Amino acid sequence: MTQLHQEIVGIDAAIFMHPTTWKASGHVDAFNDPLIDNKDSKKRYRADVLIEDYCEKYLQKANKEVEKARKRFGESFDEDMYRKTNPRVLGYLEKATEPTARLASLLEKEDLAGVKALIEELEIKCPVSGSMNWTDVRQFNLMFGTKLGASADTATDLYLRPETAQGIFVNFLNVQKTGRMKIPFGIAQTGKAFRNEIVARQFIFRQREFEQMEMQYFVKPGTELEWFEIWKERRMAWHQSLGIDQSNYRFHDHEKLAHYANAATDIEFDFPFGFKELEGIHSRTDFDLKAHEEHSGKKLQFFDHEENKSYVPYVIETSIGLDRMFLAVFSNALQDEVLEDGSERTVLKIPAVLAPVKAAVLPLLKKDGLPEIAQEIIDDLKWTMNVQYDEKDAIGRRYRRADANGTPFCITIDHDTKEDKAVTVRNRDTMTQERVAIADLKSYLEPKVAMSEWLKKI
């Protein structure tokens, strides 16, 4: 964000903010999840997620039908036509989309009894007890409260921030003035966010403490939907530049818009438990800046010299969870492979640019001067990449260790190295080996692992 875009700058705002911030942003009154309990299993669920999962099941069924037909018809297959005309696919798609639309309208009207009735009508069962013995749906506020002050009676109620975005909004004018930023411009930050998630499950997918990477892009009112499309495209290109198969990503446009948005979409990723939100892209209008103006009594406006007037900018937001991004990359990368000789290996095929260790440096033996050559190689490479020395166990076991922790290259020093001043470089993914002169190692590895080379591909 900040390196490739001259008009985007970074900040690090506070986690504790004035309690009125959260009143202004609408979080105190409206940042709720509709929850429902199963009386038999005593498990608690997000009512909206139960319905979304139900719909996703039918979407997958429709996709399966399409794939079966693709195999049957081969080259002549017209997917578009098949989706529009095949009765079975149409039936599944209807079951996938109709409840989503009804859910959106019920939530819009805050009709929680209607949400429960929909769950019952769809005959959604508790995955644990298998029963439909549900409680009523209730709203739970997600704000994480704490206290500021020496004694209980004088303490002030505080909230841990549920999103980093508000730190950007309240600092909008500081950044615009000191950075002499002109519209359109962006402010980005990464930082901790906290939510009182009642249902924190699925490994690190939903946590109570997590790291967000957000960017607010301030634009001229009336241009926001154009910018929304531009940022949708840019963010998808960013995800796909990592080299993960494109079929793992899709957009999911919101039916129910948050109280501050006039357009919103999620970039969803195919996690081991199905397609789920990875990043949110929202057109937040001027809702936040205006609300902070009202609650603080201070103007948060931009003077546009071209138009010769001041206005409250509109905002496009891109918001991604770092932990969720990690889970997406990690779960996709971790693979158990059966090799040609029948043996098995666990390999973490993480993109080389993200791999914590870029190369393992392995002397074939712990003697005959081979460790000393390994050390020289490390001393040469360590300035530009993270490398790791490993001399323990047979070379095959060391390769497996490097595969499992995602190290993209292994550099082996053998007895020939002393003569030809070259090493064997093994590729984690293909397991092919190449002889590379020690003098050329840096220029061989750097284009494959360097952040700069990846940035150029975006």
Residues that bind ligand GAP (CB under 6 A): 163, 165, 195, 197, 206-207, 210, 212, 214, 277-280, 317, 319-321, 323-324
- Where are the extended beta strands (E) located within 19-102? 32-37, 44-46
Question: What is the DSSP code (8-state) at residue 248?
Answer: G
- In the complex, the smallest distance separating the C-beta of residue 304 from ligand GAP, rounded to whole angstroms, is 26
**Residue 186 vs 363, nearer CB to ligand GAP:** 186
Q: How far is the CB of 282 from ligand GAP (least distance, A)?
A: 6
Q: Is 43 exposed, middle or buried (0-12, 13-18, 19+ CB in 10 A)?
A: middle
Q: Are 68 and 88 in contact (CB under 8 A)?
A: no
Q: At what angle do helices 47-73 and 87-108 cross, to 10 degrees?
A: 160
Q: Are 317 and 228 in contact (CB under 8 A)?
A: no
Identity of the residue, 33 or 37, whose beta carbon is nearer to ligand GAP in the bound complex? 33
Please check whether residue 428 is in contact with residue 349, taking contact to mean a CB–CB distance below 8 angstroms: yes
Cβ closest to ligand GAP, residue 168 vs residue 411: 168
Instruction: Tokens for 108, please give them.
Output: 């819009």
When the beta carbons of 103 and 423 are compared against ligand GAP, the nearer one is 103
Judge whether 313 and 286 are in contact, CB under 8 Å. Answer: yes
Minimum CB distance to ligand GAP, residue 212 (Å): 5
Rounded to whole angstroms, what are the CA distances from 277 to 143, 190, 344, 428? 20, 18, 33, 30
Smallest gap from residue 176 Cβ to ligand GAP (A): 20
3-state class (DSSP) for residue 1: coil
Compute the least distance from the CB of residue 90 to ligand GAP, in Å. 31
Distance CA 339, CA 350 (A): 19
Shortest distance, CB of residue 408 to ligand GAP, whole angstroms?
Answer: 26
CA atoms within 13 A on the CB side of 265: 18
Nearer to ligand GAP, 194 or 399 (CB): 194
CA 261 to chain CA centroid, Å, is 20
Question: Quick one: 214 or 403, whose CB is closer to ligand GAP?
Answer: 214
Report the residue number, 315 or 387, with the smaller CB distance to ligand GAP: 315
Nearer to ligand GAP, 54 or 194 (CB): 194
Q: Which residue, judged by CB position, is nearest to ligand GAP in the bound state?
A: 321
The least CB distance from residue 31 to ligand GAP, in Å, is: 9
CA of residue 74 relative to chain centroid, distance: 35
- Minimum distance, C-beta of residue 37 to ligand GAP, in the bound complex (Å): 20
Nearer to ligand GAP, 206 or 428 (CB): 206
- Say how far residue 264 (Cα) sits from the centre of its chain: 16
As a whole number of angstroms, the distance between CA 306 and CA 299 comes to: 20
Kindly give, in sequence order, each residue whose CB lies less than 8 Å from that of residue 169, ignoring residues fewer than 6 positions away.
25, 216, 288, 289, 292, 300, 315
Contact 389, 402 (CB under 8 A): no
**449, 358 contact by CB (below 8 A):** yes
Nearer to ligand GAP, 321 or 406 (CB): 321
CB of 446 to ligand GAP, least distance (A): 31
E strand map for 195-343: 209-219, 249-253, 263-271, 274-285, 302-304, 309-311, 314-321, 334-338
Question: Which of 358, 352, 361, 318 minimizes the C-alpha distance to 333?
Answer: 352
Give least dist CB 47 to ligand GAP, A. Answer: 17
Of 331 and 388, which CB lies nearer to ligand GAP in the complex structure? 331
Minimal distance, residue 286 CB to ligand GAP, in Å: 16
